[in-house]
Amino acid sequence: NEKPFYELAKAVQKAYYYNRSGFEITPEFGGIWSRPAGHPDTLVFIHDSASDSNRPTNSTIP
């Protein structure tokens, strides 16, 4: 076989493509696994570990 890792590489690409959460998977590329984008962030809450005086814990970024 001239391309011993071709099928493996193709499977890995599919796995990454199908596991994207913030992007729509269209029927053209996803077939029966097509779906709308998952949980888009429209409001971000600041976690305690990322807070500071300008961005207190639980403040939001629209």
pTM of the model: 0.50
- Can you give the pLDDT at residue 54? 94
- Can you give the pLDDT at residue 18? 87
Each residue's pLDDT, cut to its tens digit, for the chain (62 residues) gives 689 999 999 999 989 888 888 889 999 988 999 999 887 778 889 999 999 999 999 999 88
Which element (helix H / strand E) includes 60? strand 60-61
Q: Where are the domains of the chain?
A: 5-61
Contact 58, 46 (CB under 8 A): yes
Q: Which amino acid is at 27?
A: P
Give the three-state DSSP class for 21.
Answer: coil
- Can you give the pLDDT at residue 20? 83
